[in-house]
Amino acid sequence: MNPIVAAIDACLTAREVFDTLSRFFSWLNKTRSDFRAYGPMRIESARDIVTWRAGLSVAARGHLRNKRPLDDLTYMAEVLTAALRRLEALGKR
């Protein structure tokens, strides 16, 4: 399992989900020379997550021929989907 997804699934509050995403994107920014921000680096709302997903979708269409960026984008999309899913679960409690 993706370790970031596992961390998100363990979050007990929306604030923890947002903090986990913010740390993840900060880590990407520091470790990936080709990383580009598609939304705010500090995730503070579901709207920020949606902004990231939209940016990733556009980026994926632009990189269809290059496998590595698509792998990276797929990884980020998996994390964002897990975050939205966890926020929805937390909201139903």
In whole angstroms, how far apart are CA 9 and each of 4, 30, 90? 9, 24, 10
Rounded mean pLDDT, 11-20: 96
Which pLDDT value is given to residue 62?
73
pLDDT digits (tens, 9 = 90+) for 30-61: 888 777 787 788 899 999 999 998 888 887 77
Which pLDDT value is given to residue 70?
56
Which pLDDT value is given to residue 64?
64
- Structural domain of 73: 3-91
> How many structural domains comprise the chain?
1
H-assigned helices in 2-91: 3-9, 14-31, 46-62, 67-91
Cβ atoms of 73 and 63 within 8 Å: the answer is yes
pLDDT at 81 over 90: yes
Which pLDDT value is given to residue 78?
92
